[in-house]
Amino acid sequence: MDVQSVRGFVGTKLSFADASPDVGLRKSEAMDPEALIHLVSASGLRGRGGAGFPTGMKWKFARAEVRSPKYIICNADEGEPGTFKDRLILTDFADLVFAGMAIAGRAVGAEKGILYLRGEYEWLHAHLEGVLARRRNDGLLGAAVLGNRNFAFDIEIRIGAGAYICGEETALIESLEGKRGEARNRVPFPVQSGYLGLPTVVNNVETFAWVPCVVEKGAEWFSAMGTRKSPGARLFSVSGACDKAGIYEYPFGTPLRRLLKEVGGEDAKAVQVGGASGVCVPAAQFDRTLAFEDLATGGSIIVFGPQQDMFAVAENFQHFFAEESCGQCAPCRFGNVRLHEAILRMREEGLDADTEASLRSLAATMQAASKCGLGQSAPNAFLSILDNFAGELPRPRT
């Protein structure tokens, strides 16, 4: 496939363009489920949503559960500010995703898959249904995938309603159950008690897309890319103050500086890695690498140019969290609002030492005490901006 024809893709190398989804599916059909899980584990594939949980391990846990039916859920609630790479996968490589879900189903013993599509992507719904229909017609989904009566798997598409929190896997499951999107307690985990209280695997769109590639080309092919702790490559959504915004593929371990050079953002003042829930990296740290062990990201790269007011960025992100917190737990519900107010105030009046200490304590509490990843990561952007750009604040009146 000519990667230039892929809408939104700007980079030069795109692994998905070289993969044949159904080769991976056929191979997996011939494999024993344990061997399949072993292969995915050996590849070192980690979740592409941002948290980076080892995919093989998640599947192994789900397989070990005795209760059934089990569910495979594809998290297509791509809501992190600055990410749009799942959209590309869904428009141009939906077959990889659906093949990956079917492989996961075979691996854990699930016959039902659900793709949870963010409300803003409703325009993709008809296209995706078309792909599903074609795959059913081709015997790649249904009661006997590839003619194998022991391999039943089908997928339905469900549409979200636009809440950021529904990208958090347990809130996504609540939403699928028709409830208010709110994070659940994480014991039990979704692999034990997920959708309808049954064992459930939730993986990101991109994670599923890599699965048939890994099965087709082997664990070594995959782990040869990236670092030891973050094997493989991943897609990046690059936006902001750069010449060539768009979607890129890089192996893990790529230095931020190299990425900036290729996207035409070398004069950047800072880069937000990981969206609103990520961290803001100042120019002095551009030699850091994009990997779970250094700068972890769900794929969002936002470039800030030399003129960017960094506390405007902090204010914007904190406002986002004050709005998008599900409002369930106290540190996140109240903390984001207070932090947002404080940023507004410090932009006017500066920040004295006592207030700074109080806000750092608040931020630490939000990170340690919030119920889910949203609240736990909500102060990250503010803290990294405060650490590196405090000089941009007005001097406090004494």
Partner 1 sequence: MTADLITITIDGTALKVSPGTTVLEAARKVNIAIPTLCHHADLCSDAVKKPVIAASNCRMCLVDVEGQRALQASCALPINAPMAIRTSSPAIRRARRDILALMMSEHFGDCPACKRNGNCELQDLCSEYQVDTSRFGRPGKPLFARPDPENIIQRDMNKCVLCRRCLRTCTFYQGVNALTPTGKGQDVSIATFMDREMMDAWCINCGQCVNRCPTGALVERDDTAAVWKAIENPDKFVVIQTAPAPRASIGECFGCEPGTPMTFRMNTALKRMGFDRVFDTTFSADLTILEEGAELISRLYKTAVLKDNSAALPQFTSCSPGWIKFIEHFYPDYLPHLSSAKSPQQMMGAVIKTYFAEKNGWDPSKVVTVSLMPCTAKKFEAARPEMRASGYRDIDYVLTTRELARMIKQAGIDLPAMEKSPFDNPFGVSTGSGVIFAATGGVMEAALRTVLEVVTGDKVENLFDKADIVPVRGFDGVRMAEVTVNRVGPVPAILSRLVPDFEWLRGATLRVGLAHGTANAVRVMQDIEDGGPLSTCHFIEFMACPGGCLGGGGQPIPTSWEIRSARANAIYGEDANYVVRKSHENEDVLRIYREFFKEGPCSHKSHELLHTHYQERV
Beta pairing partners, 279:
273
Q: How many CB atoms lie within 10 A of CB 134?
A: 14
Binding status of residue 185 toward partner 1 by CB under 8 A? yes
Q: Whole-number minimum distance, CB 285 to partner 1, in Å? A: 23
Binding status of residue 250 toward partner 1 by CB under 8 A? no
Q: Out of 362, 383, 385, 386, which residue is the one contacting partner 1 (CB under 8 A)?
A: 362
Binding status of residue 324 toward partner 1 by CB under 8 A? yes
Binding status of residue 38 toward partner 1 by CB under 8 A? no
Q: Which stretch binds partner 1 (CB under 8 A): 50-58, 93-101, 128-136, 319-327?
A: 319-327
> Could you tell me where the DSSP H helices lie in the chain?
21-30, 33-43, 55-64, 85-92, 94-108, 125-137, 169-176, 205-217, 219-223, 256-263, 310-324, 330-349, 353-369, 373-377, 380-389
Q: Which stretch binds partner 1 (CB under 8 A): 81-89, 241-249, 285-293, 359-367?
A: 359-367
Binding status of residue 163 toward partner 1 by CB under 8 A? yes
Comparing CB distances to partner 1, the nearer of 328 and 388 is 328
Q: Report the distance separating Cα 198 and Cα 5, nearest Å.
A: 41
Query: What φ, ψ does residue 294 adopt, rounded to 5°?
Result: -125, -90
Considering only residues 329 to 358 of the shown chain, the ones binding partner 1 according to CB under 8 A are 329-331, 333-338, 341, 358
Sign of CA dihedral 248, 254, 259, 260: positive
Q: How far is CA 343 from CA 27, 134, 168, 175, 364, in A?
A: 54, 52, 26, 32, 16
Q: Whole-number minimum distance, CB 214 to partner 1, in Å? A: 28
Comparing CB distances to partner 1, the nearer of 275 and 331 is 331
Query: Which residues would be at the binding site for partner 1 (CB under 8 A)?
Result: 163, 165, 180, 182, 184-185, 187-188, 193, 321-331, 333-338, 341, 358, 361-362, 364-365, 367-371, 376
